Amino acid sequence: MGRKVHPIGFRLKINRDWDARWFAEGNRYRELLQEDFEIRRRILSEGERSAISRVEIERYPNQIVTTLYTAKPGIVIGRKGDNVKILRQTLEELTGKKVKIEVEEVDKPDLDATLVARNIAGQLERRISHSRALKRAVTQAMRQGAQGIRVQVSGRLGGSEMARREWQVDGRVPRNTLRADIDFGTAEALTGFGRIGVKVWIYKGVQLREEPEVADVYVSQ
């Protein structure tokens, strides 16, 4: 089962929380969901060089709180906060509500699966050998304290005529264990021979999420 489903969705409510926290019913749910997709697209397109790994969205009456997890908070914030102000204005025009942006720094980017996958994709686009890129990512993650990592690339590797799949594994990655804290990320490299997909699993140990205090959840009318 753990090999067939999304590793993060598989562990929701066990050791991982939702990236969007709000509730709505009927057509309103569809509208807010599409709005979330557009918010994430705008943020990632505005900050392609900002190394943003995750975007959390919380909704309150007439206010949206977005938390950006990034390895380069200085680029996201900008000089005297200029970049954040521009991004906030863009999102407020998009949603028609007041937007609050919080920036959280990712201390160890080599242990963030999304950032590792994008780094590998960037190396493949620069025509670096896929085996070299995989080996470097695995070595860096294990050096930073990961208990296991699995990296997989698939496509026309090295310009071969037939697509294939290759992977490298170090340590252990128990994908079937629900208590396992496994971070998962994907990326795509657009090369001259076509797209190459990248998947990364990083195992950080066993962790059980503590039950948070019951808080008021915004229910859209």
Q: 133-160: per-residue pLDDT in tens? A: 999 999 999 999 999 999 999 999 988 9
Within 8 A by CB and 6+ apart from 25, the residues are 220
pLDDT digits (tens, 9 = 90+) for 12-38: 988 888 999 999 999 999 999 999 999
Q: Domains of the chain, with CATH numbers?
A: 18-105 (3.30.300.20), 109-206 (3.30.1140.32)
* pTM metric for this prediction: 0.87
CA gap 69, 183 in Å, rounded:
14
Phi-psi region of 71 (alpha: psi -120 to 50; beta: other; left: phi over 0): alpha
- When pLDDT is cut at 50, 70 and 90, the band that residue 123 belongs to is very high
